[in-house]
């Protein structure tokens, strides 16, 4: 199936792309910037720039079997001024109308449209149990969701199966609510928002994208579907679950008044209560991998498969590349991780042989971008790119020092932020599966401060980066 996606470079879209590729679908991403999209989505996704016009969009739709519409500016991007409200409406309602209008002109047309919405549709409803047939509210966010859904349903007039997806708070490793909440919780100063009694419908990112992937090929998924987990929780219970996963207290509340001063009416997104049930998903017997909040939070926070330890002595370093590079650079730490993939070794290695795919497996917050053209990866090749490490923009040059398809390769940092960075990738067959291992030897920068920097910044960041990389690879290839 060929699927056109809007919002492919967003938090949900970037997780949806690898799972659809893994299921054998061909993808077209409708994007604002082709250059930026290619650096985020990898080598396997075709891109069409929104500014190319209606004709280019219609032609892309004529080649598509289905459309997933996830575009929309962040609801919590600031106070809802009149200008901000226009942006929120235009990025959702107007874009969806434009998309549906182009679908009507397409010959042939896609058969399916899955379009985003949110549980904000219901407004602040306290402890009332809400399901797909519950009436909507009348505040700004509720009206926005209602208009968004109505725009999508116009595609039914062109003969499409339309599903509107009301998502709750989406929990994932590289964005969404948890990314914003983690800093204070890591330092033990996190806690509930406002009273904490408000219900907070949520869903794990991987369950959400699996559900969208299922809906593309299962005609039973139509109408409105609440994209939330079955395990209901209040905001206080969510704060407690995050504290447990981090082994930190979670008792310091964020005052409602402070949020209202900062965000104005938008604070209602954090303070409002929606006790939403996934009635349609229950009827469809969708299987959640993370049905409870503790399971979801633990999966996102924990990175047990990423081991970081002091470096071994130089006498234990065996290969010539190690002896030459690492003897001079003196690594202080090692990182190891292992992933078992449900794919043959040749296919796993081929994915890593394309430099464009580096962006797909790098957290979006790092703003990874290859500089000076995309090189062919082989022994001796260099890759120049820029990225952010925390708030700091960095330039990095990687050189491939060993290239042994399909068994592995070695890359090292020629210039960049680390005093030493040596990275060995190993692939080995396990029947029809592939065991993929990474071994990194590194030395932090900052001289006398490197121990503190490593403990408080570098180690948590590396766990996040390699955990995210593992997530994407598992979505792309499946994992045992």
Residues 310-336 pLDDT 10s? 997 654 454 555 568 888 888 999 999
Q: What is the mean pLDDT of the chain?
A: 92
Residue extent(s) of CATH 3.30.530.20 domains in the chain: 306-477
- For residue range 426-473, what is the model confidence (pLDDT) as tens digits? 999 999 999 999 999 999 987 778 888 898 889 989 999 999 999 999
Average the pLDDT over 8-23 and give the result.
96
User: In this structure, are residues 154 and 112 in contact, taking their beta carbons and an 8 Å threshold?
Assistant: no
- Structure confidence at residue 322 (pLDDT): 56
pLDDT band at 479 (very low <50, low <70, confident <90, very high): confident
Task: For 159-186, give one letter per residue: b (16+ CB within 10 A) or e.
Answer: ebbbbbbbbbbbbbbbbbbbbebbeebe
Strand partners, 424: 410, 439
- Structure confidence at residue 82 (pLDDT): 94
pLDDT band at 368 (very low <50, low <70, confident <90, very high): very high
pLDDT band at 168 (very low <50, low <70, confident <90, very high): very high
Q: Cα angle at 207 between 205 and 211, to 5 degrees?
A: 115
Average the pLDDT over 178-198 and give the result.
88
| End-to-end Cα separation, the chain, in angstroms | 25
- Structure confidence at residue 214 (pLDDT): 98
Phi, psi of 197 (to 5 degrees): -85, -10
With 80 as the cut, is the pLDDT of residue 116 above it? yes
- Structure confidence at residue 4 (pLDDT): 98
With 60 as the cut, is the pLDDT of residue 195 above it? yes
DSSP-assigned letters across all residues of 340-380 = EESS-HHHHHHHHTBTTHHHHTS-GGG--EE-SSPPBPSTT
- Structure confidence at residue 478 (pLDDT): 86
Give percent of the chain above pLDDT 70. Answer: 97
Kindly report the number of other CB atoms within 10 A of residue 80's CB atom.
Answer: 21
List the one residue out of 423, 373, 381 whose CA is nearest residue 399.
381
Phi, psi of 112 (to 5 degrees): -140, 140
Q: Beta 433-443 vs 333-341: how paired, if at all?
A: antiparallel
Residue extent(s) of CATH 3.40.50.720 domains in the chain: 2-292
The pTM for the full model equals: 0.93
**Superfamily assignment of 2-292 in CATH?**
NAD(P)-binding Rossmann-like Domain (3.40.50.720)
**Superfamily assignment of 306-477 in CATH?**
START domain (3.30.530.20)
- Structure confidence at residue 315 (pLDDT): 47
Kindly report the number of other CB atoms within 10 A of residue 334's CB atom.
Answer: 16
Q: Beta 112-118 vs 66-69: how paired, if at all?
A: parallel
């Amino acid at each position: 199936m060929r699927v056109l996606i809007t919002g492919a470079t967003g938090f949900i879209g970037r997780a949806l792309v690898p799972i659809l590729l893994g299921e054998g679908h061909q993808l077209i991403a409708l994007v604002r910037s082709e250059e930026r999209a290619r650096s985020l989505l990898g080598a396997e996704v075709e891109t069409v720039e929104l500014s190319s016009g209606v004709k280019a969009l219609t032609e892309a739709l004529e080649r598509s079997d289905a459309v997933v519409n996830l575009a929309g500016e962040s609801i919590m991007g600031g106070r809802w001024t009149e200008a901000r409200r226009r942006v929120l409406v235009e990025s959702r309602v107007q874009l969806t109308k434009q998309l549906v209008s182009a679908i009507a002109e397409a010959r042939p047309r896609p058969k399916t449209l899955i379009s985003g919405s949110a549980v904000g549709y219901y407004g602040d409803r306290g402890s009332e149990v809400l399901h797909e047939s519950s009436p909507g509210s009348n505040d700004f966010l509720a009206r926005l969701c209602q208009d968004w859904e109505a725009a999508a349903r116009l595609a039914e007039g062109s003969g499409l199966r339309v599903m509107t997806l009301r998502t709750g708070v989406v929990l994932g490793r590289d964005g969404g609510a948890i990314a914003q909440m983690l800093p204070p919780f890591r330092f033990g100063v996190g806690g509930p928002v406002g009273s904490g009694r408000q219900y907070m419908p949520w869903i794990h990112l991987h369950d959400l994208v699996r559900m969208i992937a299922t809906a593309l090929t299962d005609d039973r998924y139509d109408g409105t579907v609440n994209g939330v987990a079955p395990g209901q929780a209040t905001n206080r219970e969510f704060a407690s679950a995050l504290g447990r996963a981090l082994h930190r207290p979670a008792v310091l509340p964020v005052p409602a008044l402070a949020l209202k001063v900062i965000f104005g009416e938008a604070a209602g997104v954090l303070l409002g209560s929606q006790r939403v049930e996934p009635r349609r998903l229950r009827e469809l017997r969708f299987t959640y991998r993370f049905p409870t909040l503790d399971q979801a939070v633990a999966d996102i926070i924990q990175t047990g498969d990423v081991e970081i330890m002091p470096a071994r002595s130089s006498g234990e370093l065996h290969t010539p590349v190690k002896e030459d590079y690492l003897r001079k650079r003196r690594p202080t730490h090692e990182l190891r991780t292992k992933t078992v993939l449900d794919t043959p070794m040749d296919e796993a290695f081929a994915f890593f042989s394309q430099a464009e795919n580096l962006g797909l497996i790098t957290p979006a917050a790092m703003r990874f971008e290859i500089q000076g053209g995309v090189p062919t990866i082989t022994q001796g090749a260099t890759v120049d790119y820029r990225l952010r490490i925390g708030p700091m923009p960095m330039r990095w040059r990687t050189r491939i020092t060993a290239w042994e398809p399909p068994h592995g390769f070695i890359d090292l940092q020629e210039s960049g932020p680390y005093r030493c960075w040596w990275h060995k990738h190993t692939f080995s067959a396990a029947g029809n599966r592939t065991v993929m291992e990474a071994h990194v030897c590194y030395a932090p920068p900052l001289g006398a401060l490197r121990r503190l920097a490593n403990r408080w910044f570098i180690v948590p960041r590396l766990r996040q980066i390699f955990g995210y990389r593992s997530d994407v690879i598992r979505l792309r290839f499946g994992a045992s």
